[in-house]
Structure 1
Amino acid sequence: MKLSYYLFNENMRNFNQLILHNKVNENNNFFVLKPKDPDNLGFNCQVYIQRNKQKEPKWIEFLEKDLNIPKRNEIKNTVNSFVILIKLNRTVDAEEKSYFFAITGGFGFTAINKNNLENNFGLKVALNTIDSKELKAFDVRNIDLKTKQKRVLINKGSELGEFDLDFEQDLINLVSGKSKDEEVGTSIRGTTSSLSLNSNVGFSQLGEKCNQLLDLFLSDDYKENFSFIDNIKILKDTEITNSLNQKLFETLVNRERDYISLAYPDMIEYERCSKYKVYYGRKTIETEEVTLYDIYALLDQINFNSPTLINKIKIVGLDDSDTAVTSPATLNHFIIYETQLAEDKYIFSLNNWYKIDNDYFTNVQNEIRGIELLETEDFLTDIEEGETEGNYNERQDTDYFLCLDKKNYQVTGSRSKIEVCDLFSIDKHFVCVKKETASATLSHLFAQGSVSMKLIRDSVEYRKFLVDKAKEKFETINYDEDNFPYSECTLVYAISTSKTEDIRDSLPFFSKVNLLHHISLIKRLGIKVAMYKINVANRALTL
């Protein structure tokens, strides 16, 4: 029988904490079922059944506006569901512990309190159980500011590498496959919170089944093939989240500048905005770019006395006539914040808290520090505060750079247009420029570089497009599209910031992960990669 299993977190003490009482009541046709022989059952349980819950289908209103429906009041959807709550007692390290499970059928899953579930229960059990050569599907989402979700299914059991996913920067939401142990079940599907299991089990065996699943959850066998799932986890523990929200609030109260930054969320169409209005109630700040300086200026005007106010400060984009061209977005969608609680590292981004594995965090930092940093002071000029990228690119040294900003290549047989780079130097630097605070995400910059370099390698027409323009500009070009000096080329990510620290350190953590992914792609093409920090001129306060 196919059942859904849930494990609750260790803070649970009784069955009442596991269900939503506004759902599980007689008004919703939920009733308690009693065991026939509780003394011989072997485990503590509480069982609810929802019997013949009727509800009018939503589509009935669509039809009845223009159609006569005979016996209309008899048309009902009927739902029958159940929720089984189980308590297990275990001795762990000489300490008695209680573990609570829920098992559901029908729509029973809507009746349990999902805020109290153990994070990654379904994933860990599934990855500890599925044959690593019989994987069927993955659901993943990336962890950059511009989120993408995708599901990859293969019709035949396959190994991990065949899914072509980047597990260094993708969070797994679901995995399914064939079990290597049929005593556990045959087909298995695990998500961050639930486990769907097809197994031959009766009600009286559920205590034994939950003990088996608990053993699998506590096992570290998955690390042999799937250790990456521990790198980054969405935090769902309310108690820890509340503590972290308080730390973020105190950081804002103290007007701190370290380990906190702002980035435009994907919902903001920043290209349409001439300026932004940051406001709370009647208190307003207008600015060309949203910075910490602006946020702190607004906080100076209001009674900022609670973490909940972070979600009430709003930001809207305006055009030249002061007309709103974006929907208001709250401040919590802009903030990127890194902190530590006890021995664990956490990051606030995408309006979520993430727990970062300490070893993984250190490895990413070390790899980022290994990226070459161009430190030639006059390679590029400082950018003026409020200056557009287009104006900045056009005023660079015209004897040294060919400006290719907005001079796009039309991909043959496609509607796609690709920008080779913003600036191409006589020394074969492909420079991609981005203002740190003027982009919904740095991922566009990083992808621009890797996509362009792949086309340089793969497309003769693309190389010819570049070489022809380079020869028009520079008399000393001694190569062509058929004899291209790949090994002498360097892709330069040039990012502006008013922060004084190393540009490699000032990037948000998730942007660092994304950057490493694209650098790996570029280096495989035999092309070097470097970073360059563009300083912001005339900024009195560094934030």
Structure 2
Amino acid sequence: MPDKKPYRRLNVLLAKDEFSGKEYRDLLSPDAKVSELELEDEHDFDGILYVRNPEEKRPRWAQLVDTLVGRTVDQLSNKSSSAVFLIRVKGKVLAFTFGYGRFLLNLGCFQQDFGLKTALNTLDHQSLRSVDLHTLEDQPIQKKSQSARGSEASVFGIDIFRDVLRAVTGSPRPGVDYKSISGGDAIYSFGLEMLVEDMPKVASQLMTYYQLSLYKDSFGWVDNIRRIKDSDTIAALDKNLLDAIKSKDPGLIITIPEVIEWDKVLGFSFTRSKNDLTPTIDTEQYLKNVDAGSVSIESIRRDRLFVTDVHDNAFGHSVYSCLYLELDSGDTKKVLFGGNWYEIDKSFMSGVDSTLASVALSDLDFPGVHVWEEDGNTKIETEGDYNERTAATQGFYLLDKRLVKCTKTTSPIELCDLLTQDKQLVHVKHRKGGSAGLSHLFAQGSVSAEVMLGDKGFRKQARTVLRRVDPRARDLVPLDSLKSSEYEIIFLILGAEGQGLKEGLPFFSKVNLTRVYENLSQRGFSVKIAGAEKVARDLA
């Protein structure tokens, strides 16, 4: 009976085609301090082993321990081992890493989706034990979810429109001999009973698995949006960003990377013009003060967008994390958002634009939002003042800041900001607060409509609030038998003109709007969008 093959846990990366013909050493990080070891002649395959030169260090806390006992404790030392085995099979190079071996590699030379796609092609899609997600919120969120037993993707509450899948763990599908599969970004990990001479066969098998399209059965959406992590690609995109800044590209937008309370904001300014406050974020103000001859990614990261509140407190954000830029690139679009670059499939973008075309512009007549000069600064009407003025002049019911208790949300919510006699619920936000404010606007309208439709207790509380505003408004929300088809949800964006309003939205704001539109439309609501352009206030 033959001896049982040893069980091994392996971590593998696949070099990009353009690097597969280079010398093995060229695939390592330039500062990797390694020894190169030739393979034994009996191994009939093309490969090389690199081992990191050992470096022994004492832990930071060793000095405290020495002091406690009054002498140097020789047993305290940290020594990490790292190695990487590079093998060339069928003209392609794979890297098997050991210990911290991945840090010896120049990751820019390797396929950034090899680990994730190979995992999705080799594991059983009903056996997922954990998923890592990067959620594209206004403040991007990293999260890891684990299941007590193997489950399908729907158990993890993945939002295919906003979540970037970063890593998965699960069991192999039938026909795959691997054990305990996991993969994220460029690295694929698995267990296998194998001998050293099996390495070429395993490498060839991995390349075949990577090329499969089985992942599209349950995870086709992972191609919609991918976070770019390859340093070389990011460097090239950052160069395009610098070109856009130098040329003052009109497609370049600066947005605030978090939701703000507009009524508490005095104005915005930038590093080189901190005292020059503007009521909304003015991208041109930043660009006109940038020295095209010396601007760099480092200087953009150092520059700050300052938010000054009514108490004259200033809070700064790195300009780089506030920049928004879309770049066309073949079959994909590259997008800078929240300080990260993303690659977006154009067919996905086309689908978003197609749905966006179905979102009609409201035919309600909204007044413009007032702007004026005061003490040398440009001021803009607050949302609260605009809502009060519009309610008075247009005959709308004012519900701004009129909170309704709800057992299905974490806190009381507004039914809407403005309500018409024709059951139009208007939600209002400033445009130039950036994508954060817009995402909040769309979410506010969605939550309000869903709760109004499905929660009788909320409708009862809403009727009480409406009666206090105006007795005639109470019956606009019936206690029983509410028909969603009778209601129109309107998203009003202050400081934006109606024509071209949708096209001018940042991509991820488009995604959020189309998602809300589809959700509410399926529930029977009519969903529209509107803009209120800036107009000079008559000070007479």
**TM-based fold match above 0.5:** yes
Q: 1:382 deviation in Å? A: 0.9
Q: 1:316 to 1:476 in 2, by over 3 A?
A: closer
Correspondence for 1:96: none
Correspondence for 1:9: 16
Pick aligned residue for 1:296 from 280, 287, 290 = 287
Correspondence for 1:275: 267
Q: 1:415 deviation in Å? A: 6.2
Q: 1:267 to 1:411 in 2, by over 3 A?
A: closer
Q: 1:61 to 1:410 in 2, by over 3 A?
A: farther
Q: Deviations over 1:363-420 (max 9, x none)?
A: 11111111122133x2x21112311111111111336322221222233498622222
Q: 1:264 deviation in Å? A: 0.6
Tell me whether 1:448 sits opposite 2:435 in the alignment: no
Q: 1:168 deviation in Å? A: 2.5
Pick aligned residue for 1:156 from 149, 158, 164 = 149
Tell me whether 1:20 sits opposite 2:29 in the alignment: yes
Equivalent residues of 1:178, 1:188 under 8 A apart: yes
Equivalent residues of 2:43, 2:197 under 8 A apart: no
| Range with bigger deviation, 515-524 or 282-291 | 282-291
Correspondence for 2:58: 56
Q: 1:103 deviation in Å? A: 1.3
Q: Deviations over 1:41-100 (max 9, x none)?
A: 32322332565x4332344456667x447652421233233221222333xxxxxxxx22
Q: 1:461 to 1:40 in 2, by over 3 A?
A: closer
Pick aligned residue for 1:469 from 445, 456, 465 = 465
Correspondence for 1:391: 385
Equivalent residues of 1:263, 1:335 under 8 A apart: yes
Q: Distance in 2 between matches of 1:249 and 1:294?
A: 16
Q: Distance in 2 between matches of 1:458 and 1:69?
A: 70
Alignment of 1:105-184 (within 5 A): 105-181=98-174, 183-184=176-177
Q: 1:193 deviation in Å? A: 1.5
Pick aligned residue for 1:533 from 528, 531, 534 = 531
Q: Distance in 2 between matches of 1:500 and 1:254?
A: 28
Q: Distance in 2 between matches of 1:202 and 1:490?
A: 67
Q: 1:242 to 1:36 in 2, by over 3 A?
A: closer
Q: Distance in 2 between matches of 1:58 and 1:267?
A: 40
Q: Which runs of 5 or more structure 1 residues have no equivalent in the other structure? A: 26-30, 91-98
Q: 1:443 to 1:320 in 2, by over 3 A?
A: closer
Correspondence for 1:286: 277
Correspondence for 2:3: none
Q: Distance in 2 between matches of 1:458 and 1:503?
A: 31
Equivalent residues of 1:4, 1:197 under 8 A apart: yes
Q: Deviations over 1:310-355 (max 9, x none)?
A: 434322223446443x2x3232222211121345422221222222
Q: Distance in 1 between matches of 2:263 and 2:210?
A: 47
Q: Distance in 1 between matches of 2:479 and 2:512?
A: 30
Correspondence for 1:262: 254
Equivalent residues of 2:138, 2:257 under 8 A apart: yes
Q: 1:519 to 1:87 in 2, by over 3 A?
A: same
- 1:381 counterpart SS class: coil
Equivalent residues of 1:403, 1:424 under 8 A apart: yes
Correspondence for 1:382: 368
TM-score, normalised to structure 2, is: 0.86
Correspondence for 2:199: 206
Q: Distance in 1 between matches of 2:270 and 2:386?
A: 26
Pick aligned residue for 1:35 from 39, 44, 53 = 39
- AA matched with 2:532: I
Q: 1:122 deviation in Å? A: 0.6
- 1:11 counterpart SS class: helix
Q: Distance in 1 between matches of 2:359 and 2:370?
A: 26
- AA matched with 2:85: I
Tell me whether 1:316 sits opposite 2:325 in the alignment: no
- 1:74 counterpart SS class: coil
Q: 1:289 deviation in Å? A: 2.2
Correspondence for 2:84: 83
Equivalent residues of 2:264, 2:310 under 8 A apart: no
Q: Deviations over 1:415-464 (max 9, x none)?
A: 62222221122211121111012253422112112222222123223112
Q: 1:142 deviation in Å? A: 1.8
Equivalent residues of 1:245, 1:307 under 8 A apart: no
Equivalent residues of 1:270, 1:317 under 8 A apart: no
Q: 1:171 deviation in Å? A: 0.4
Correspondence for 1:369: 357
Tell me whether 1:345 sits opposite 2:333 in the alignment: yes
- AA matched with 2:25: N
Correspondence for 1:252: 245
Q: 1:500 to 1:296 in 2, by over 3 A?
A: farther
Q: Distance in 2 between matches of 1:381 and 1:268?
A: 24
Q: 1:530 deviation in Å? A: 1.4
Q: Distance in 2 between matches of 1:209 and 1:270?
A: 58
Q: 1:286 deviation in Å? A: 3.1
Q: 1:57 to 1:242 in 2, by over 3 A?
A: closer
Equivalent residues of 2:83, 2:97 under 8 A apart: yes
Tell me whether 1:459 sits opposite 2:455 in the alignment: yes
Q: 1:242 deviation in Å? A: 4.2
- 1:166 counterpart SS class: coil
> Over aligned residue pairs, what C-alpha RMSD do you find?
2.9
Q: Distance in 2 between matches of 1:358 and 1:476?
A: 46
Q: 1:455 to 1:58 in 2, by over 3 A?
A: farther
Q: Distance in 2 between matches of 1:241 and 1:332?
A: 13
Q: Which runs of 5 or more structure 2 residues have no equivalent in the other structure? A: 1-7, 372-379
Q: Distance in 1 between matches of 2:72 and 2:150?
A: 49
Correspondence for 1:484: 482
Q: Distance in 2 between matches of 1:202 and 1:241?
A: 39
Equivalent residues of 2:107, 2:230 under 8 A apart: no
Q: 1:271 to 1:42 in 2, by over 3 A?
A: farther
Correspondence for 1:28: none
Equivalent residues of 2:306, 2:317 under 8 A apart: yes
- 1:207 counterpart SS class: helix
Correspondence for 1:95: none
TM-score, normalised to structure 1, is: 0.86
Tell me whether 1:47 sits opposite 2:55 in the alignment: no
- 1:133 counterpart SS class: coil
- AA matched with 1:432: H
Q: 1:241 deviation in Å? A: 3.9
Q: 1:339 to 1:23 in 2, by over 3 A?
A: closer
Q: 1:449 to 1:283 in 2, by over 3 A?
A: closer
Q: Distance in 2 between matches of 1:532 and 1:491?
A: 11
Correspondence for 2:377: none
